[in-house]
Amino acid sequence: MAKATADRLFINAHLATMAPGDEPFGAIDADALAVTGDKISWIGLAGNGAPEAGDIIDLEGRWITPGLIDCHTHLVYAGNRAREFDMSLNGATYEEIAAKGGGILSTVKATREASESDLAAESQVRLEAMMAAGVTTVEIKSGYGLDLENEVKMLEAAKHLGEINPVRVVKTFLGAHALPPEFAGDSDGYMAKVIHEMLPTIHALGLVDAVDAFCEKIAFSEEQVRQLFKAADKLNIPIKLHAEQLSNQHGAELAAHFRALSADHLEYLDERGVKEMAKAGTVAVILPGAFYYLRETQKPPIQLFRDHGVPMALATDCNPGSSPTTNPQLMMNMAAVLFRMTPEETLAGFTRNAAAALGLSRTLGTLETGKQADLAIWDIEHPSELTQAIGSNPLYSRYYGGLQ
């Protein structure tokens, strides 16, 4: 019987599979991993039935984890909001900055003025920084166009970034992000436009993998978001939601009613909302960057998520106004220090649970045979180092679909 063959065999490695189980970090008694095509084809001990491979890579004791997944970003945008940072430091709240024409609307203006190629070029720099930190999958939201033409432009730019880079891009339509200036005072009218014009057109163009909204007093009401979700549900589009960031609008319960992939932010979430998320299998996406940057004091209910078995994902929330970062390791450290998440929880937040937050658990998020060979290889002695060090980047190499 011919011995099995593989394209690539990694040896002398430690494996943090991040598969759920009793072992911390999913660490197993294996020191080798084989890749065939774009899939993991074998995991085990190199001296015990390892396949033959044309390319053998000695990792000299380094650690392999699944490639990192950033499941909540606003990566595509134009301009910056550094001046608003000064306002914030002088005491202006998020709501006050928005009321003065800043916040999301200042980015809307810059994004509308930018061409698709300019948007892609400016966003490419941010994406490269993420990939250099071990990210192999990134979700990118629209929401800075707020009309059909510019929302399409943003999603086309996101699609283009996925086509020219070794990274998986998940495109989320966030037309219900804020009220555009031309609809000032008419949120019902704008939501009708989102539901009846923008969503079906963008869906027909194949540019939407999920639908998101901002359910908050400064954005859209629970009932308005409900109507959007009904429309998305009819089109069989998965749902996500910005919920309970600044107040408790019961958005997470609404998201759970529609079996949303995730509800995100969640600082003001109550136990009833946590229970509804648990019943629905909705992932809690924790965003410590925005919490830190906005100097919030209300922490997400981490212990309630643990108590009720709600998976916790982490993300950078990369955006120009409230989390201007591309650094997953920094978010892991913040989640540990600010919210007391464990190092294992933070790494699961950027791997297994982040995959679940994007509906990609079957193919991504853990090191298991048959899954995509998206790998991050780290020059570390223990996986806790990825969380313990403040914003470090010990990435040794990165493989996307089996290729470096």
Pick the CATH number of 6-66+367-399 from 2.30.40.10, 3.40.50.720, 1.20.58.1690, 1.10.10.10: 2.30.40.10
At residue 211, φ and ψ (nearest 5 deg) are: -120, 135
Q: What letter would DSSP give residue 158?
A: H
For residue 17, pLDDT over 70 is answered with yes
Query: What are 299-338's pLDDT values in tens digits?
Result: 999 999 999 999 999 999 999 999 999 999 999 999 999 9
Q: Cα dist. 184→175, 180, 188, 312 in Å?
A: 15, 7, 10, 36
246 burial (CB, 10 Å; 0-12 / 13-18 / 19+) is: buried
**Residues 242, 229: Cα–Cα separation, whole Å:** 13
Beta bridge partners of 400: 403
Residue ranges for the known binding site for 4-imidazolone-5-propanoate are 81, 144, 177, 245, 322
Cα separations in angstroms, 68 against 4, 270, 355, 389, 395: 29, 29, 9, 17, 11
Q: Which residues are annotated as a binding site for N-formimidoyl-L-glutamate?
A: 144, 319, 321
**What is the DSSP secondary-structure string of 253-302?**
HHHHHTT-SEEEE-TT--HHHHHHHHHHTPEEEE-HHHHHHTT------H
Annotated binding site for Zn(2+): 72, 74, 242, 317
Count of residues for the chain?
404
Q: Give me the residue spans of the domains in the chain.
A: 6-66+367-399, 68-358
pLDDT at 1 over 60: no
What's the pLDDT score for residue 221? 97
Q: pTM score > 0.95 for this model? A: yes
| pLDDT value at residue 248 | 95
Please say if the pLDDT value at position 2 is more than 70: no
- From the annotation, which residues make up the binding site? 72, 74, 81, 144, 177, 242, 245, 317, 319, 321-322
Q: Are strands 63-66 and 375-378 parallel, antiparallel or unpaired?
A: antiparallel
Domains 6-66+367-399 and 68-358 share a fold: no
What stretch of H or E contains 173? strand 168-176
In terms of phi and psi (left: phi > 0; alpha: psi -120 to 50; beta: otherwise), the region of 18 is left
What kind of architecture, by CATH, is found in domain 68-358?
Answer: Alpha-Beta Barrel (3.20)
Instruction: Show binding-site residues for Fe(3+).
Output: 72, 74, 242, 317
